[in-house]
Amino acid sequence: MSERSALQRRIRAWLVLFIVCLVLSGLTAFPLVTELHWANSLVSHAWLQRVGDGLDRADGDYPFLLYGTDWLAFAHLVIAVFFYGVHRDPVRNVWIVEAGMIACVGVIPLALICGPVRGIPFGWSLIDMSFGVFGVIPLLVLRRMIKRLEALPA
């Protein structure tokens, strides 16, 4: 196997990992009420209970508010589709990986600004920020491998 094809296989493997995680993250935003019931049955935590109570009230009295999380889920799925372009042509579409890296970095100021505005405990904002931190790692690996692929002779 040539160095080029081995590198392409590694790129695709990392890409599949990232896409699967992105899709799973999106899919989990649809059943929030059910997920919070499940989480609260497993863990006794005041903040989780408060979030669960809020979601129950919103779902019962104002279900249209949860439509926002449906769009959040949909956005994750749409973003995952864009990464198919990297699968098709990693060198030409490296910009998608770079845009994903920018989005991951953007999670941090969003959590730091919006978390306090919305009354989110700082520890939970740290959990939100971890999605950006852990999301950028495979993208950094992908970008490095794509740049190596680009440097190889055709």
Q: Mean pLDDT score of the chain, rounded to an integer?
A: 95
Task: Convert the pLDDT of each residue in 69-95 to its tens digit.
Answer: 999 999 999 999 999 999 999 999 999
pLDDT of res. 88: 95
What is the 3-class SS of the chain, one letter each residue?
CCHHHHHHHHHHHHHHHHHHHHHHHHHCCCCHHHHHHHHHHHCCCHHHHHHHHHHHHHHHHCHHHHHHHHHHHHHHHHHHHHCHHHHHCCCCCHHHHHHHHHHHHHHHHHHHHHHHHCCCCHHHHHHHHHHHHHHHHHHHHHHHHHHHHHHCCC
pTM of the model: 0.89
The pLDDT, as a whole number, for residue 1 is 75
